[in-house]
Structure 1
Amino acid sequence: MSALLGCGAVVLAGCGSMPVTGDVKAVDASQPGDSQVQVYAVAPREGAPPSEIVDGFLESMTSDDPAFATTRKYLSADARSTWRPSGSTTVLAQAPNRSGPLLHDEDNRATRDREATYTLTGEQVATVDAQSSYRPLAPTDYSQSLHLVLEQVAEGKKEWRIDVVPDGLVLGQSDFKRLYRSVNKYYYATGARNGRSTLVADPVYVRNRTDPVTRMDTVTQTVRTLLAGPTDWLRPVVDSRFPAGTVLRKGVTALAPDDQNVLKVPLSLKADAVDRSACRMMAAQVLFTLRDLTSARVERVQLEGVEKRLCALDADDAPQFSAERGSQGDDSQYFINDKGQVERILGATVATGATGTPEPVTGPLGAGIVPMGSVGVSRDEERAAAVSSSGQHLYVSSLEAEGELAEPLVTSTANKSADRLSPPSWDGRGDLWVADRDPAGPRLLRLAGGTGEPQEVGVPGLDGARIEELRMSADGVRIALLLTKDGRTTLNIGRVERRGSTVSPEISVEDLRQAAPQLADVSAISWSGRSRLVVVGKEEGGVQQVRYVQADGSSSASGALPGVNQVQSVAAADDEQLPLMAETVGDGIVKLSPGENWQTVLKKGKALVYPG
């Protein structure tokens, strides 16, 4: 067939086209993840048969076609005006297959037929909604129809055009990764304790380079989606300091820092009424949102209203607006030694990793009066919670003062150790969380401030699944759960909602979502930064793998990690540059520093964790 698309790129690679005869196979238009490849749309050629129109339309959707103007030329006049490419994006494992009645002996039949229907099929793995929010799916059969008619395009001249087409884009995974990138926009957690502000990452996908619909560059798209407010899933637990209805000033399509690395953001009239304090919090949202964009090294954000300059904020000052609880120094690493005592490796840093000499922690957990099986350390590193080696009791103790081991705060009455308490986890608010896996009465428990009577937390989406393990995010509004049901253990992310008063709070975990549906069995998890997790699991019939997954369930840019044998648990820090740690069978505790291979840290030891 004739070429449907021309390909031009900084690096030219993988210009694909769809077949029109013979067996139908999916062909991706680019190599996976190569964001430098640009695919240029080409209008339908005169006299093109229906299958070529369908193929040209599908390939044109993978292009950087401005306003999708060329893509619309494959549509009928009516469909051209109603098709909304920005409505949603369907992500398939591979580029879509198409089949239809005119697939064979088409030249003869096309002359006498006046309409045709083609079916697009594939394996759907995700959707991206109109808010640019990614939702992974367990691989699901996808099927949609495209209807074509002979439409008069000039006097005495008719051409095949698509007159029935679903809204949105349909892309294979490789094209999706080439065209879009994940960014975190930031909002403030509601119900902050003691007036403390905590910024929460809300991951979305924006277009690499220029968005065909809005004509905005990547930075402008990112600021635009920040101003639009949080995604529906996160909205119940976060707020924006931007006044409702605030948008970029009309006509703004490009934002870039000047030669002093100052980014000026012109806002609509809605922003003019904000006071200086709220304005600086708005600027902090912009700074945190843009810090991961390598194309925009921003040292200062200057917000500008219609009638006046509103405020400015330096990047160095932004962290004061997100005061998560944490220690002032480098995070230590904590583990259980072969005697059941809690030890620490002091001061993990990006440069040194975990190279210090282990030493017992201060207090009764380091003395080993009661052998422990797992430990969780508060983010300020002042206290630790530990579960006894039998899994029956949860203790909380100071890491700064000697003393007797206090009575357990939680006790499980399950008969088997595996059915008792999970490893504990602290959130950034200073609250302690643990699951009792007792089949006779499973519970998710929260201890406010790590003290007092445990409060049972409702999880309405469990649907008979059992909580095997949990990890709280630093922001305290998301919880990662390993849930077991019907012999499978899956990773789910839930939203932590807090209602009621401070004295009598009502806490629940809402709207559970699978975060790694491609993994048939997940065995270990840890948060790694504000919106990323490290996950240990297996695909159906596959071998164990360690990989990064974004909180929205999409694959992290860093993706799969170097292989390591028989991982039992993993630990990552809030600082993504600190080494990833893993407990293995045979090699003990190992670490993976950026750009290096796995190295053994301790031959003996288990349950290693960072604070949190």
Structure 2
Amino acid sequence: MRRPAVLVAALVVGAACLTGCVRVPDDGPVVTSKAGSQLDEQPAGQADAVPPAPGASRQAIVTGFLDAMTAWPVQTNVVKEYLTDDSAEAWNPEAGTIVYSDSSPPEPEDDGAGVSVHLSSGDRLDASGGWRGSLGPREETLHFKIGVEDGEFRIIDPPNALIVPASWFQQRYRQVSVYYFDPTSKILVPEPVFVPVGQQLATSLVSALLTGPPRRLRDVITTYVPHGLDEGLSVPVSDSGVAELSLSGDAPQPSPDSAQLMLAQFAWTLQQDPQVTAVRLSIGGTGVTLPSGATQYDLADAADFDPAGNLAAGELFGVRNGRVVSGTPDLLAPVTGPFGKPGYGPAELAVAPQGARAAIVTQDRAHVLEGPVLDVNSPTQVTTIVSDGVDLARPTWDYAGRLWLLDRGPDGARVRVVEGRDDDSPRVRHVRVPGVTGQDARRLLVSRDGTRLVAVVRRGDATHLVIARVTLGVNGRVDGAGLSTVIGGIGGASRIVDIAWTSPSTIAVLTPVRRGSLFEVDTVVADGSTLGEDAGSTIVTGRVRGLAGSPDVDQPSYAVLGRGLTDLVTRVATEIGGGAVTLLDYAG
């Protein structure tokens, strides 16, 4: 089982908004943001909360309430002392987190009974630690109603959230992924979340997964972890690397098949803790058994649900002299299938994740043809999928063999998906994607799991990323797309040249620094937050044509020049054997 890259340094939500804002709507309109910067994770020392002083003023009570939430490790007993008894009982800080860069001093409100605090560059996390975007203008001001209890001022209506400054948050939290399934239960889907740093990483990961998918994503992803379970005080990991999950709650015992899927979720989530090599699970004191009868689930057992899909590992595909070629950078040869022979001259190329099928866009950019990569000795090897395109961009595939198309017409872009291959009659449907459909979209990517769509869209003189979520039915049919987020200001440039996956949850973005000779590659997290240029940037010299990237983190990501490649991590340049190519990429 591959071990996906862990975003070890915290992607600090508050810091991300120092340069701009993002709002992630549940549906409806698309809103914008700027890419932010990442701050280094620093070790955090223990800090105790201070209880309210006798006779404290209204403003002092609010100040003390906010300060008490910065205790570390997090504990809220002292925080509740700033609340009335009824409010302390009802308050739920686990409902979410608000992270802010700065705050105003508490000020009395006009009614004399309330106190207000204005937050700068505030952002919100949900109960699982998932990033939910920036606070709206009305949400940036917190209103505290103050009452009197036992002769002392106390807060009556606190927000149901942990409210902390970004400088505190960045030292104590980091972004990881929890794993759910797509609606067909065939592939895992990573969802980035923030968890506390420290010695109990396994406990934090399990706690985040037990929270379950947020409501806004319940039509996008599914879970086999029953609701209402609790991990207890900790998740111990034995010297041999076995994580012992002793969950409590009223959930029924899962069937062996459901147990296998549930344990796959735990395995992919817990593999981010380097101590863990296997999982053993019990619910309510009863051990969970797999279809094989085993009670221990090794991390490698979850490989069939790899969120990167079953790829044509390490193989690159490109176009040279009008023919499709494949191989390694130093040895690219024409494929044996029809597109490796003269006569087709692809303008664009995309190979299915398993490496068996290819889709090409013809030179007139009006047609999409599909055929085998290798010779299958059939007289009808090539099928015309689309014949009425206007200006078709490079296609993209997901793990299920769905082919996604972006057609750039005079009235704006249209997104199509090709589903099914019944009797050589694939179904081609239009999918409306907020922020992409009808816009000046230039490039399209879909995640390997099929639940995320990423597009490059021009607005005025600048280009932005639009990240949308795809809704699938249990039969794998695309039902629609929504939850779009727009990200701007990436790399400080006004033009995005190309995008590519670098893991199941991160995207590389290519922008020019000096046109034709100097380029920058930045990394964006697939939840709409971004890794800033200081943390995830690579500068590449030369005339870069595009990017070659894969969600398989074991494969290097490249900047593609006409006759060579530059590794985005090692920055080692490699000459392409056999001559220049017009495009080059991995399967997908």
Cα displacement (A) at 1:421: 0.3
Q: 1:569 aligns with which of 516, 533, 546?
A: 546
Cα displacement (A) at 1:345: 3.2
Rounded Cα–Cα distance in structure 1 between residues aligned with 2:495 and 2:171: 29
Q: Deviations over 1:513-542 (max 9, x none)?
A: 216355476442222222222223599xxx
Compared with structure 1, are the counterparts of its residues 604 and 175 closer, same or farther at alpha carbon in structure 2 (3 Å cutoff)? Answer: farther
Q: Deviations over 1:442-489 (max 9, x none)?
A: 432222357634412321524642442221211123222233445543
Rounded Cα–Cα distance in structure 2 between residues aligned with 1:544 and 1:162: 53
Contact kept, 8 Å, 1:139 with 1:518, in 2: the verdict is no
Rounded Cα–Cα distance in structure 2 between residues aligned with 1:341 and 1:115: 76
Cα displacement (A) at 1:121: 3.2
1:54-203 correspondence runs (5 A):
54-75=62-83, 80-92=88-100, 94-98=101-105, 100=107, 117-124=115-122, 126-137=123-134, 143-147=140-144, 165-191=158-184, 197-203=186-192
Cα displacement (A) at 1:139: 9.1
Contact kept, 8 Å, 1:393 with 1:408, in 2: the verdict is yes
1:513 aligns with 2:484: yes
Cα displacement (A) at 1:314: 1.6
Cα displacement (A) at 1:61: 2.9
Q: 1:316 aligns with which of 300, 308, 328?
A: 300
Compared with structure 1, are the counterparts of its residues 443 and 169 closer, same or farther at alpha carbon in structure 2 (3 Å cutoff)? Answer: same
Rounded Cα–Cα distance in structure 2 between residues aligned with 1:138 and 1:374: 41
Rounded Cα–Cα distance in structure 2 between residues aligned with 1:521 and 1:264: 49
Moved more, 514-523 or 366-375: 514-523
What code does the residue aligned with 2:338 have? P
Q: 1:447 aligns with which of 418, 422, 442?
A: 418
Structure 2: gaps spanning 5 or more residues:
1-37, 290-295
Q: 3-state SS of the aligned residue for 1:358?
A: strand
Larger Rg: 1
Contact kept, 8 Å, 1:571 with 1:580, in 2: the verdict is yes
Rounded Cα–Cα distance in structure 2 between residues aligned with 1:91 and 1:588: 47
Q: 3-state SS of the aligned residue for 2:540?
A: coil
Cα displacement (A) at 1:429: 0.7
Q: Tell me the equivalent position of 1:358.
A: 332
1:79-478 correspondence runs (5 A):
80-92=88-100, 94-98=101-105, 100=107, 117-124=115-122, 126-137=123-134, 143-147=140-144, 165-191=158-184, 197-209=186-198, 217-242=200-225, 244-248=226-230, 252-268=232-248, 270=250, 273-294=253-274, 297-306=275-284, 308-311=286-289, 312-321=296-305, 326-327=310-311, 330-337=313-320, 339-346=321-328, 354=329, 356-401=330-375, 406=382, 408-414=384-390, 420-440=391-411, 442-448=413-419, 452-459=425-432, 461-462=434-435, 464-478=438-452
Q: 3-state SS of the aligned residue for 2:301?
A: helix
Q: 3-state SS of the aligned residue for 2:347?
A: strand
Rounded Cα–Cα distance in structure 1 between residues aligned with 2:389 and 2:306: 40
Q: 2:502 aligns with which of 521, 528, 553?
A: 528
Contact kept, 8 Å, 1:32 with 1:177, in 2: the verdict is yes
Cα displacement (A) at 1:74: 4.7
1:547 aligns with 2:522: yes
Cα displacement (A) at 1:199: 1.7
What code does the residue aligned with 2:317 have? Y
Contact kept, 8 Å, 1:379 with 1:428, in 2: the verdict is yes
What code does the residue aligned with 2:132 have? R
Rounded Cα–Cα distance in structure 1 between residues aligned with 2:137 and 2:575: 42
Rounded Cα–Cα distance in structure 2 between residues aligned with 1:452 and 1:545: 42
Structure 1: gaps spanning 5 or more residues:
1-30, 103-112, 211-216, 347-353, 415-419
What code does the residue aligned with 2:430 have? V
Cα displacement (A) at 1:424: 0.8
RMSD value over aligned CA atoms? Answer: 3.7
Cα displacement (A) at 1:332: 0.7
Rounded Cα–Cα distance in structure 2 between residues aligned with 1:410 and 1:74: 65
Compared with structure 1, are the counterparts of its residues 230 and 79 closer, same or farther at alpha carbon in structure 2 (3 Å cutoff)? Answer: closer
Cα displacement (A) at 1:274: 2.5
Compared with structure 1, are the counterparts of its residues 38 and 549 closer, same or farther at alpha carbon in structure 2 (3 Å cutoff)? Answer: farther
Compared with structure 1, are the counterparts of its residues 132 and 392 closer, same or farther at alpha carbon in structure 2 (3 Å cutoff)? Answer: same
Cα displacement (A) at 1:254: 0.6
Compared with structure 1, are the counterparts of its residues 479 and 245 closer, same or farther at alpha carbon in structure 2 (3 Å cutoff)? Answer: same
Cα displacement (A) at 1:115: 6.1
TM-score by length of 2: 0.77
Rounded Cα–Cα distance in structure 2 between residues aligned with 1:308 and 1:600: 55
Cα displacement (A) at 1:128: 0.9
Rounded Cα–Cα distance in structure 2 between residues aligned with 1:508 and 1:484: 26
Rounded Cα–Cα distance in structure 2 between residues aligned with 1:454 and 1:258: 51
Rounded Cα–Cα distance in structure 2 between residues aligned with 1:286 and 1:118: 42
Q: Tell me the equivalent position of 2:292.
A: none
Q: Deviations over 1:394-417 (max 9, x none)?
A: 222222117787364223453xxx
Q: 3-state SS of the aligned residue for 2:409?
A: coil
Contact kept, 8 Å, 1:422 with 1:436, in 2: the verdict is yes
Identity %: 24
Rounded Cα–Cα distance in structure 2 between residues aligned with 1:447 and 1:149: 59
Rounded Cα–Cα distance in structure 2 between residues aligned with 1:58 and 1:482: 40
What code does the residue aligned with 2:92 have? R
Compared with structure 1, are the counterparts of its residues 324 and 588 closer, same or farther at alpha carbon in structure 2 (3 Å cutoff)? Answer: closer
Q: 2:41 aligns with which of 34, 41, 55?
A: 34
Contact kept, 8 Å, 2:121 with 2:135, in 1: the verdict is no
What code does the residue aligned with 1:534 have? A
What code does the residue aligned with 1:611 have? A
TM-score by length of 1: 0.75
Q: 3-state SS of the aligned residue for 2:313?
A: coil
Rounded Cα–Cα distance in structure 2 between residues aligned with 1:293 and 1:229: 20
What code does the residue aligned with 1:205 have? F
Contact kept, 8 Å, 1:136 with 1:515, in 2: the verdict is no
Compared with structure 1, are the counterparts of its residues 309 and 141 closer, same or farther at alpha carbon in structure 2 (3 Å cutoff)? Answer: closer
Q: Which has the higher contact order (CA 8 A, sep 6+)?
A: 2
Q: Tell me the equivalent position of 1:106.
A: none
Compared with structure 1, are the counterparts of its residues 288 and 69 closer, same or farther at alpha carbon in structure 2 (3 Å cutoff)? Answer: same
Rounded Cα–Cα distance in structure 1 between residues aligned with 2:65 and 2:315: 55
Compared with structure 1, are the counterparts of its residues 170 and 273 closer, same or farther at alpha carbon in structure 2 (3 Å cutoff)? Answer: closer
Contact kept, 8 Å, 2:178 with 2:191, in 1: the verdict is yes
